[in-house]
Every structure is written in structure tokens, then in C-alpha cells.
Amino acid sequence: MMTSLGEEEARVLLQEEQARLQQIRASLQADPLDGAEERAIVELSMVDQHPADIATDTFEKEKDLSILEHVDAQLVDVDRALGRLEQGAYGTCEACGRRIDDDRLRARPAARFCIDDQQMAERGAG
């Protein structure tokens, strides 16, 4: 049996999660080509580029944008969890008020709900 999750361990877990998400965000935003190089490539390649290639590029950009939006939402969750930690409310389910299991908090440091309420929320959203 693991010991109860302490404030310092929770802070470390949240900061590690924040750093991981910021790294993902930075890698998604990194553009290997600057605007001038990209325009030159587009101008040269549009002449003989197959429409499927353009569709693939568009899909990849939209996929990256979707992932970026998800990462941004997770960063907001981590920021809110850090706020709950400061207020002394970290680890308490926002739906029922019960203590969130330490193993769940170690796996998902920004968890807002206990596992039962999380499952109900997911069923309701699905």
C-alpha cells in the first residue's frame, strides 16, 4: 500500500506534467521552415503536386492543431490543479467531495473527479 500523496509530491507531479505538456506544445508549434521558404516550396511544387498530397498536408496540419488544442486544455487543467493545491482543495472530487485515490492522482495529477464520477461524466459525454 502506498502512502498518502503529500503536497510536495503533488506539486512535483503537477510541475512534471506541466513541463511535459509544454514540451509537446513547443514541438507542435515548431515550424522547420520560415514563411519565405515555405512560400517558395509551395510555389514550385503546386504546379505538379497531386491533390491527394495537398489533402494529406492539410490533414496533418489540422491533426496537429487538434492535438495542440487538447494540450492547451490539459495545461489549463494543470494550472487549475495547482490552484486547488494552493487552496487546500487538491485531491477532492469536484462532483461528490470525496477524496480522489492517490494512485489516480499519481497517474493523472490534474484529475478533478474520483474514478466513479469521471466514468459517469464520460458516459454522459458519450
Please state the three-class secondary structure of the chain as a single string: CCCCCCHHHHHHHHHHHHHHHHHHHHHHHCCCCCHHHHHHHHHHHCCCCCHHHHHHHHHHHHHHHHHHHHHHHHHHHHHHHHHHHHHCCCCECCCCCCECCHHHHHHCCCCCCCHHHHHHHHHHHC
**pTM (predicted TM-score):** 0.75
Q: How confident is the model at residue 124 (pLDDT cuts 50, 70, 90)?
A: confident
Q: How confident is the model at residue 32 (pLDDT cuts 50, 70, 90)?
A: low
